[in-house]
Amino acid sequence: MDERVTKPTIETVLERMNEMEQRLGERIEASVSASEHRMTERIEASVAASEQRTAARINKLEDELGTRLDRLESLTYSTRADFLDLRLKLREHLPALH
């Protein structure tokens, strides 16, 4: 075979192989980028949902704590009133303790 005829053919094949490699690389890069984007969206959605659940739980705990503190405050006032009443009765019944 004549070298002048085969050389352009080999160069053409190599050029086509390089073009195929470049197109394949671009397709792979696009696919990886799209997968990365979908994964990022899923992670962000999952984190947002987790934050909402956590916020709801914290709000519920704050409400429960507020209710319990209100009850404790009420009990404290009631106990103080009972104590003052007892003290008054003791003073009435035991005048020497004033």
Q: What is the pLDDT of residues 11-59, one digit of tens each?
A: 888 999 999 999 999 999 999 999 999 999 999 999 999 999 999 999 9
> Looking at residue 17, what is its pLDDT?
94
Query: Of 82 and 94, which is predicted with more confidence?
Result: 82
- Are residues 24 and 30 in contact, defined by beta-carbon separation less than 8 angstroms? no
What's the pTM?
0.55
Q: How confident is the model at residue 65 (pLDDT cuts 50, 70, 90)?
A: very high
Q: b/e string for 73-96 if b means 16 or more Cβ within 10 A?
A: eeeeeeeeeeeeeeeeeeeeeeee
